[in-house]
Structure 1
């Protein structure tokens, strides 16, 4: 992911802009970038300034930086600069995962962000993700079994049926467990589209971001901005 190469002093002091106003700008820019992603089009800095920031163009650097960091975490989409001279960007699936292209022709909000989280949890659990541990982690993100999520729908169906059918996950009973316990593993399509090495590098980047002190707009805020799935 590429950030604008502007001097540090150009980044606006967070104290100079209310957090609520900053979050709204970030959510609006994420909306614009997601539309470009779904339309398979590139986005330019000039377009973002004209269509999104408008009267707040002086805040572009910090808004773009935060939107670029939110997209992989919320929607599984990364922003890459393809023309540094003209500042033109393209949105690509995080870590090469194409699950969103397989669902409803790629329409609606991307769900790859959740898949990245689940695959990461499995990797961190020595390649075996106990079901109770996976759901425990997802509960902290506001994703619950049996509760419809604004982006992901019913998550149990997504994890144990949709992504298993598509080959991204394996869902199986833990051998010799009594009473029966279940676990998630990487599926063959996950291995075909990405690698554990790429995930390890990604996790290092995400952990570094954890030390950043900005507030992420929620997935629900972005959904409202985009207009729903």
Structure 2
């Protein structure tokens, strides 16, 4: 039976009216998210307060020898755990409503920002349910009144999805005007990792790679989990986006070779650390990870000082390796061509 796309649109129209387009995904509503309602970077809570455009982040401190107090913000997609976290989150550390900057409060009243938040939820819903995304359906969400502002609304929604989930909203068929969310890394099922319906895990992976890089290209297990606490991600506690995070991080991503999880040499009692896996080195770069972290923090990659210099060196080394490989291929092709020509010009013996 064909899917009723108009029915999906109606679901979100009703959601808009019922929640005033300011849905906070926590408590009982977190359960709805698991059953099909989409989480949104514009509608998640941290410490009991909704986070919207305030850099879409919750502050988490990362210290490195060169930058002892460098603050790294974490994506808000991780700030809402299952409904059993709702009560505890009210007392957790985090920004309160009164602490929200004036610019954030103003942006919440911006009708384009509200429409972008609703469109973002719709895009994530369609992605999670593995349903096609068309411009026609998006326009129904945006409403005729904002049709002329649709490009700007889509841009804002896409930026927030990129920051939280490390996925780009791309037009995949200009004829049917169909769109898709494309993961920044080549994880299975376009970022879902497992074959089940769900949301992309690429944002968490990119953040973990960033933590490891900023920690000096290796981070202890304790450092990783301390940082993840700032994102309201806890070992052994199911998360509405990431499932059981310990399994995802120490098993799934390790098995896929995006992370390396190993015992610290000569540690007694045994302790463990994380490094980049070979697929992470193959599919992304230190600079791309810094750019992702910089976007989360609304800053420039160069703000990460010493790590930026290391990322630049890494880019240069990669470029030199590519040039050397191309030169080698060109030389081999030239030698083969000369050998072939010599063979062709050699008289045949009778």
Structure 1: 5+ residue runs without aligned partners?
1-12, 211-229
Distance in 2 of aligned mates of 1:54 and 1:62: 14
Residue 77 (1) aligns with residue 155 (2): no
Larger Rg: 2
Q: Does 1:68 find its partner at 2:153?
A: no
8 Å CA contact 2:127–2:199 kept in 1: the answer is no
Question: What is the distance in 2 between the residues matched to 1:100 and 1:106?
Answer: 9
C-alpha offsets along residues 202-225 of structure 1, whole Å, 9 cap, x if unaligned?
333333269xxxxxxxxxxxxxxx
The partner residue of 2:142 within 13, 31, 53 is: 53
- Mapped to 1, the partners of 2:256 and 2:212 lie a distance apart of 17
Deviation at 1:92, TM superposition (A): 1.8
More displaced 10-residue stretch of structure 1: 116-125 or 175-184: 175-184
Q: What do residues 155-212 of structure 1 show as CA deviations (whole Å, max 9, x unaligned)?
A: 11110011111111111111122222211111111122222232223333333269xx
2:286 to 186, 193, 196: 196
- DSSP-derived class of the 2:203 partner: helix
Distance in structure 2 (CA, Å) of the matches to 1:207 and 1:97 = 24
Structure 2 CA distance for partners of 1:178 and 1:64, relative to 1, 3 Å: same
Q: Provide the TM-score with structure 2 as the length reference.
A: 0.47
Cα deviation, residue 37, structure 1: 5.0
CA distance in 2, matches of 1:174, 1:123: 17
Query: CA shift at 1:135, angstroms?
Result: 0.9
Equivalent residue in structure 1 for 2:109, among 11, 14, 18: 18
Any gaps of 5 or more consecutive residues in structure 2? 1-103, 301-350
Say which of 201, 219, 222 aligns to 1:132.
222
1:207-218 superposed matches below 5 A: 207-208=297-298
Say which SS state the counterpart of residue 28 (structure 1) adopts: helix
- Asked whether the equivalents of residues 100 and 111 of structure 1 are also in contact (C-alpha less than 8 Å), the reply is no
Question: Structure 1, residues 108-140: CA drift from partner, whole Å, max 9, x if none?
Answer: 111111111111111111110111111111111
Q: Which residue of 2 aligns with 1:111?
A: 201
Q: Does 1:92 align with 2:182?
A: yes
Q: CA deviation at 1:98?
A: 2.1
The secondary structure found in structure 1 opposite 2:294 is: helix
In the other structure, the counterpart of 1:143 is 233
- Measured after TM superposition, the shift of residue 61 of structure 1 is 6.1
Q: Cα distance 1:16–1:31, how it changes in 2: closer, same or farther (>3 A)?
A: closer
**Structure 1 moving runs of 4+ over 4 Å:** 21-24, 35-43, 58-63, 80-84, 87-90
CA-CA distance at 1:69 after TM superposition: 2.4
151-160 or 172-181: which moved more? 172-181
> Normalized against structure 1, the TM-score is what?
0.68
Shift of 1:56: 5.5
CA distance in 1 between partners of 2:196 and 2:284 (Å): 19
RMSD: 3.4
